[in-house]
Amino acid sequence: MAKQKSDLSRAFSEDGAVKTHVGGQALIEGVMMRGKYNWAVAVREPSGAIYVEEHDLKSGQDKNGWMYWPLVRGCRALVESLMLGFKALEIAALHAFGDAEGEQKAAEVDFVEAEVEIEGAIAVASEEGKREGDVLCAGDAAAESVETTEPRSDFDWKRDFGNLDTMVDGLGAQRTLEVVSEEPPVPAPAKAAASGPAVPAGDTEEEFGHREMMFSMVIGLVLGIVLFIVAPAAVTNLIVGEYDDHTLAWNIVDGLLRVAVFVFYIWLIGRMEDIKRMFMYHGAEHKAIHCFEHGLPMTPENARQFPRLHVRCGTAFLIMVMVIAILVYTIFPLNAIISGFGVPDGLPKLLLVIVARIVLMPVIAGISYEITVKWAGSHPDNPLVKVILWPGMQMQYLTTHEPDDAQMECAIAAMQTVLAREDAEAARATDATEAIAAS
């Protein structure tokens, strides 16, 4: 009897022929999928119905072209992924439970999810980004329609930073790994008859307001900095000694501690029931994308056969951030600053090291983005890419679990909502081209 392949081996050997730019993120009792033109959230409601809500994406490249420069675009993608991820998580929490319970769950899961998402920036994350391009079905109750509001096009960092909806609409980065040369989009199958209609984006009256969301993000950021920067640095200082006396050893030990804290943190929160189910939805997201990339009708039966791991999962971005951090911290001339300003040993020197790490986070995120998203995304068959992706693939054993059919229905429904928009935009572009040719 032939030996059964592992999910890791299958993820590499059974990668589909169609490399879609659509990427997603697991939510509490649901999935968010993101394409070029919109993002959709599909949530399993307590009644068993599936609530689907979609929002337009609007690129800010025309107004803020500098945000698409190399290195800068990685930071933009990270910030935008965090904002969109929190917005999607809020929607999911409010519909996965009753109003009161949903508000409480949104707050609870936001704190945990905040650190997972922010880890992409400070762990040395959108999403996913890997497919740069980090879903749901069956239900018989129709979702409530909401009036559509056009996203604001004149996004401005000074004026609009901190406004959740404006940032989500104004920034245009995709969450996961982009494939430079991609096949034309395959027409999406019609949604299952039992699925509820997608609800367009609008000024929804949400119980869990922007102030609470921003508070959750700030608390998550602070906790993330403490867990993944301050704590490893403090322990490293105790083990190795002063930074400028053993710079290389200091950075290596600090990096290894950071990885250990991250892995333990993911394992620990994976014991929580809500997060465990979220990881099952992560597996459902991967299986739905596998199914589409293999050109099969998107059904739970077809999706079930594929591995829960995916080579273009945004987890690789997190691992690359940690590796690049060690290199950047070692190269950065912090010793010259220490000696130049005569920073004394002990707490002052340690605080300077911690501040330097926080300041360098955007640089590390930008470099990691260029490697995992831009370079690896355009060279998927390069053997070196597989080496780079291998640690991230191993992490997926922690961040994904085998989903059930109901969860795969959710992932499929969200993806179909995004694919339907892709098809509509492709048809619109074709009609415009034909009209120009005919004139």
* pLDDT tens sequence across 221-263: 888 899 999 999 999 999 999 999 999 999 999 999 999 999 9
Q: Is the pLDDT of residue 180 over 80?
A: no
Cβ-count burial of 249 within 10 angstroms (0-12 exposed, 13-18 middle, 19+ buried)? middle
Q: Worst-scoring range by mean pLDDT, 91-100, 325-334, 387-396, 406-415?
A: 91-100
Q: Worst-scoring range by mean pLDDT, 18-27, 332-341, 406-415?
A: 18-27
Q: Which one has a higher pLDDT value, 388 or 176?
A: 388
Q: Worst-scoring range by mean pLDDT, 71-80, 234-243, 331-340?
A: 71-80
pLDDT of residue 20: 83
Q: Is the pLDDT of residue 174 over 70?
A: no
pLDDT of residue 289: 94
Q: Which one has a higher pLDDT value, 113 or 98?
A: 98
pLDDT of residue 339: 92
Predicted structure pTM score: 0.74
Tokens encoding 252: 């290596």
Q: Is the pLDDT of residue 355 over 90?
A: yes
User: pLDDT band for position 390 (50/70/90)?
Assistant: confident
Q: Which one has a higher pLDDT value, 105 or 399?
A: 399
User: pLDDT band for position 67 (50/70/90)?
Assistant: confident
Q: Worst-scoring range by mean pLDDT, 85-89, 170-174, 301-305, 329-333?
A: 170-174
| Positive or negative: CA dihedral 232, 235, 241, 246 | negative
Q: What is the mean pLDDT of the chain?
A: 77
pLDDT of residue 97: 79
pLDDT of residue 313: 85
User: pLDDT band for position 411 (50/70/90)?
Assistant: very high
pLDDT of residue 138: 30
Q: Residue 43 carries which side chain, given as an amino acid letter?
A: V
The residue among 198, 196, 86, 181 whose CA lies nearest residue 146 is: 198
The residue among 406, 196, 197, 198 whose CA lies nearest residue 299 is: 406
Q: Residue 261 carries which side chain, given as an amino acid letter?
A: V
> Residues 327, 315, 78, 236: what is their CA dihedral angle, to the nearest 10 degrees?
-40
pLDDT of residue 103: 53
Q: How many CB atoms lie within 10 A of CB 347?
A: 10
pLDDT of residue 53: 95
Question: Could you read off the pLDDT of 45-55 as tens digits, one per residue?
Answer: 999 999 999 99
Q: Which one has a higher pLDDT value, 428 or 216?
A: 428
Q: Is the pLDDT of residue 414 over 90?
A: yes
Average of per-residue pLDDT across 322-336: 92
Q: Worst-scoring range by mean pLDDT, 156-165, 234-243, 329-338?
A: 156-165
Average of per-residue pLDDT across 364-390: 81
Task: Specify the DSSP class assigned to residue 69.
Answer: S
